[in-house]
């Protein structure tokens, strides 16, 4: 009997080293001047430029991509889920008004295939570039027998900074303020357990089927990456007083917008005040999904929501539209029990 080695047990350290060599050059493209270490160090050093802040506060967030990864496996396309990973983390810390500084990822798989894993990292790199943050490190775990053949899992961690007196937490929101919705890129990274159950388990649809209403295949629609809203905020922060921001993820608007509302206020959302992408109508109609479930599961076409004063609402929308972000006045803040109400009022501002 030959001697047992780590490689024979399923872990190939050599492939791990080759993977690091493959990604090092592209990862360095995300480095801000504050990064003080190279790829492969035990830890990452990042010098905080405190001259830019009176009282800097670090803001952190962590998240994953969820079962959207199953779509990447089905399509054997892996260069976009990394964007989703970054987006889910930086969009969260952005709600506090924080500028994303750096990002770390965790990639775990049963058997490491460096070329496939490199495609994932390329997506993370693209997401970090869009967010203006540095990919300073991460962990690659090869775990034989833990994941199915060809599958992997992802998680990420982002750190940002904001001056204490510029923290955005919703405390300044008042009755009469305007609610601005910024368009999503489709499903983003939420609701995929329902979507996969509907399209592939119940309806047995082909992921490569071209859907005329969507103008693309089903798989291409489902893999569209989550929108990153950092640049949208950066375009506004010096011109508009933003009172609150919500990242619309699992739970939709009803599950996320109330998290930033002060006691005694509620969000009045006007139905039909923004265009809902056709993928949501497809899901609702094919699956006969109740309207309430749609609202509480999906972003319904809005990936980010901001609350501003009524007097700056139109300027906010104009600035966002000029910056490449489709935005809409979708409602206003009322006085009452905290929550979200939908109405058909024609005039909201």
Task: Determine what percent of the chain is predicted with pLDDT higher than 90.
Answer: 87
- For position 4, what pLDDT does the model report? 65
- Per-residue model confidence (pLDDT) at position 13: 79
Q: Can you list the domains of the chain with their CATH numbers?
A: 13-166 (3.30.1330.10), 178-343 (3.90.650.10)
- Is the per-residue pLDDT at 9 higher than 90? no
Are the C-beta atoms of residues 180 and 256 closer than 8 Å to each other? Answer: no
pLDDT at 1 over 60: no
CA atoms of 289 and 56, how far apart (whole Å)? 46
- Residue 348: its pLDDT value, please? 57
Mean pLDDT for the chain overall: 94
Q: Are 90 and 130 in contact (CB under 8 A)?
A: no
Question: Given this model, what pLDDT does residue 344 score?
Answer: 84
- Residue 78: phi and psi, rounded to 5, are -125, 10
The answer to whether 168 and 97 have CB atoms below 8 angstroms apart is yes
Q: What is the pLDDT of residues 31-62, one digit of tens each?
A: 999 999 988 888 999 999 889 899 999 999 99
143, two tokens: 């775990």
The phi and psi torsions of 191 (rounded to 5 degrees) equal 90, 10
Higher pLDDT, 280 or 2: 280
List pLDDT tens digits, range 152-174. 999 999 999 999 999 999 999 99
Could you read off the pLDDT of 78-136 as tens digits, one per residue?
A: 999 999 999 999 999 999 999 999 999 999 999 999 999 999 999 999 999 999 999 99
pLDDT tens digit string along 194-252? 999 999 999 999 999 999 999 999 999 999 999 999 999 999 999 999 999 999 999 99
């Amino acid at each position: 009997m030959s001697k047992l080695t780590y490689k024979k047990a399923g872990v190939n350290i050599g492939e791990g080293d080759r993977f690091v060599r493959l990604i090092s050059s592209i990862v360095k493209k995300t480095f801000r001047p504050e990064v003080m270490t190279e790829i492969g160090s035990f830890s990452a050093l990042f010098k905080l430029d405190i001259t830019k802040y009176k009282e800097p506060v670090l803001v952190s967030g962590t998240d994953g991509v969820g079962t959207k990864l199953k779509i990447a496996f089905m399509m054997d396309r892996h260069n976009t889920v990394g964007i989703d990973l970054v987006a889910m983390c930086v969009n969260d810390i952005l709600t506090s008004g924080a500028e994303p500084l750096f990002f770390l990822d965790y990639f775990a798989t049963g058997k490491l295939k460096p070329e496939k894993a490199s495609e994932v990292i390329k997506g993370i790199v693209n997401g970090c570039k869009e967010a203006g943050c540095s990919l300073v490190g991460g962990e690659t775990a090869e775990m034989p027998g833990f994941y199915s053949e060809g599958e992997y899992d992802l998680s990420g961690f982002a750190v940002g900074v904001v001056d204490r007196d510029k923290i955005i937490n919703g405390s300044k929101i008042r009755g009469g303020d305007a609610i601005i919705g910024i368009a999503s890129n489709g499903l983003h990274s939420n609701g995929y357990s329902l979507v996969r159950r509907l399209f592939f388990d119940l309806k047995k649809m082909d992921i490569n089927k071209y859907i005329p209403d969507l103008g693309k295949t089903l798989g291409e629609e489902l893999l569209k990456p989550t929108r990153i809203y950092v640049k949208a905020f950066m375009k506004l922060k010096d011109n508009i007083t933003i009172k609150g921001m919500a990242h619309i993820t699992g739970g939709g608007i009803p599950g996320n917008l109330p998290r930033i509302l002060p006691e005694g206020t509620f969000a009045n959302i006007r139905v039909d005040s923004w265009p809902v992408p056709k993928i949501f109508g497809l899901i609702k109609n094919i699956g006969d999904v109740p309207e309430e479930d749609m609202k509480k599961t999906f972003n319904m076409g809005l990936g980010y929501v901001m609350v501003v004063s009524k007097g700056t609402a139109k300027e906010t929308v104009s600035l966002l539209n000029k910056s490449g972000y489709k935005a809409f006045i979708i409602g206003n803040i009322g006085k009452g029990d905290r929550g979200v109400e939908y109405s058909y009022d024609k005039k909201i501002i």
